[in-house]
């Protein structure tokens, strides 16, 4: 046993083999875990959404406390503001979004025709003289046609699927505020509850580690969330100034994709740029200019202010995480892959530092 502990390579090899064996056995008897999986999948989205909102809104509660409002009253006031905002979104913003999305899907053939009309103008732009515009337009036509068919098919799914989706959304709208309230109200009980799961000799480490994990998650989600909201607002007014249609839809797309590091802004800018091309190359240029200016504001002011450099993850590592997490978990993995990796990194660094400190204490002096 001592030999295993001294040989770190052998120890970790056996540990990984044991984990792989457990995963394999679990996959062979997956039917046993099916009810648990159904329960987990049902609760996952509401809990994840409530957790995201908790970190997004927690700075507001702290701000109220700094204004000498007691925490219970601050939580109640925050919940009133949140529920009021949610109702306003459902009544005012959601219908406008659906109207713009429906109009966009219906007008896709017209938009493609407009791009084809301006195709000759595109050839005159610097850097595009050697590009086969006709071939590019054909590919764009196919891509937009595929997207429109996908969206239209989602509108024409079976009634049972629509009812199921509406039911899931309704349940989430009811459960998320309740879970969110208890996260704020009983948040202080979380650390003792988690620590109680572990043996007493590990509880000290749990109490030391949880605040570090909380800081990492908070700095990323609340910081990136606030920055993305500001980005969406700036994009909205920028697109209004340029004069492109679907400003609300495009601004929200840009704000949402801004949550994805590095590649998110490019994904969000693409629809707005294409819509700009349907009007004129000049409009597309000004759309790109708006996106560039807003992203510079985000990179140089918003993200450093709200997020900081607490994650300390190399850009290449982040891109790798996005690729792997996106492949495994879809959009949820893309959004939450980076903070999840940061949490794992925090745990590993803590274990390493703790073991190093323990070895230093044991050294003879």
Q: Under a CB-based contact definition with an 8 Å cutoff, are residues 307 and 220 in contact?
A: yes
Comparing CA positions, the residue from 152, 139, 132 lying closest to residue 112 is 139
Q: Under a CB-based contact definition with an 8 Å cutoff, are residues 46 and 176 in contact?
A: yes
* Site of tokens 């900081």: 308
- The string of DSSP codes covering 69-115 is --HHHHHHHHHHHHHHHHHHIIIIIHHHHHHHHHHHHHTHHHHHHHH
Question: Which long-range contacts link 322-329 to residues 24+ away (Cβ below 8 Å)?
Answer: 322/260, 322/261, 322/262, 322/263
- Give the CA angle between residues 138, 144, 147 to the nearest 5°: 145
User: Cα dist. 232→113, 139, 258 in Å?
Assistant: 29, 29, 9
* Total Cβ atoms within 10 A of residue 8: 9
Question: Which long-range contacts link 97-103 to residues 24+ away (Cβ below 8 Å)?
Answer: 97/248, 97/249, 97/252, 100/245, 100/246, 100/248, 100/249, 101/151, 101/249, 103/245, 103/246
**What's the pLDDT at 303?**
80
Output the furthest CA–CA distance in the chain (Å, rounded).
82
**What's the pLDDT at 234?**
95
- For 170, residues 6+ apart whose C-beta sits below 8 A from its C-beta are none
**Can you tell me the distance from the alpha carbon of 188 to that of 190, in angstroms, rounded to the nearest whole number?**
5
Give residue limits of the domains in the chain.
1-185, 197-356
**Can you tell me the distance from the alpha carbon of 62 to that of 33, in angstroms, rounded to the nearest whole number?**
41
**What's the pLDDT at 176?**
86
Comparing CA positions, the residue from 211, 232, 224, 213 lying closest to residue 305 is 224
Q: What are the phi and psi torsion angles at 307 (to 5°)?
A: -100, -45
**What's the pLDDT at 217?**
85
Q: Under a CB-based contact definition with an 8 Å cutoff, are residues 237 and 244 in contact?
A: no
Walk along the chain (365 residues) and give the pLDDT tens digit of each residue: 454 445 555 666 676 677 677 766 766 665 565 666 666 666 777 888 888 888 888 888 888 988 988 888 998 999 999 888 888 888 888 888 888 888 888 887 777 777 766 665 655 555 555 555 555 555 555 555 555 555 555 555 545 555 666 676 777 778 888 888 888 888 777 778 777 787 887 778 888 888 888 888 888 888 888 889 999 999 999 999 999 999 999 999 999 999 888 888 898 999 999 898 888 888 889 999 999 999 999 988 888 777 766 566 777 788 888 888 888 777 778 888 888 888 888 888 888 888 777 666 666 65
**What's the pLDDT at 119?**
61
DSSP-assigned letter for residue 125: S
């Amino acid at each position: 046993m001592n030999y295993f502990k001294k040989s770190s390579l052998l120890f970790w090899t056996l540990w990984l083999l044991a984990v792989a064996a457990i995963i394999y056995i679990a996959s062979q008897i997956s039917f046993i875990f099916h009810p648990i999986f159904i329960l987990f999948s049902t609760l996952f989205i509401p809990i994840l959404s409530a957790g995201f909102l908790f970190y997004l809104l927690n700075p507001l509660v702290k701000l109220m406390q700094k204004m000498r409002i007691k925490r219970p009253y601050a939580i109640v006031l925050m919940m009133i503001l949140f529920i009021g905002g949610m109702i306003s979104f459902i009544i005012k913003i959601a219908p406008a979004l659906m109207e713009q999305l429906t109009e966009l899907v219906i007008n896709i053939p017209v938009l493609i025709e407009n791009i084809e009309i301006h195709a000759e103008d595109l050839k005159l732009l610097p850097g595009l003289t050697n590009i086969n515009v006709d071939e590019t337009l054909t590919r764009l036509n196919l891509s937009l046609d595929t997207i429109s068919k996908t969206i239209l098919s989602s509108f024409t799914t079976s009634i049972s699927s629509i009812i199921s989706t509406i039911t899931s959304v309704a349940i989430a709208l009811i459960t998320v505020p309740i879970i969110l309230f208890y996260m704020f109200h009983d948040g202080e009980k979380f650390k003792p509850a988690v620590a109680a799961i572990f043996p007493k000799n590990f509880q000290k480490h749990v109490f030391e580690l949880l605040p570090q994990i909380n800081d990492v998650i908070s700095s990323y989600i609340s910081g990136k969330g606030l920055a993305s909201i500001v980005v969406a607002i700036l994009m909205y007014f920028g697109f209004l100034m340029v004069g492109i249609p679907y400003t609300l839809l495009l601004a929200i797309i840009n704000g949402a994709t801004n949550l994805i590091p590095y590649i998110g802004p490019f994904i969000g800018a693409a629809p707005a740029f294409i819509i700009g091309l349907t009007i004129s190359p000049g409009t597309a240029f000004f759309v790109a200019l708006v996106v560039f200016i807003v992203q510079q504001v985000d990179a140089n002011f918003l993200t450093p202010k709200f997020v900081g450099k607490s994650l300390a993850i190399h850009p290449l590592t982040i891109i790798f995480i996005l690729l792997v997490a996106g492949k495994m978990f879809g959009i949820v993995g893309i959004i939450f892959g980076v903070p999840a990796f940061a949490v794992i990194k925090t745990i590993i660094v803590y274990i390493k530092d703790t073991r190093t400190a323990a070895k230093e204490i044991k050294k003879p002096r």
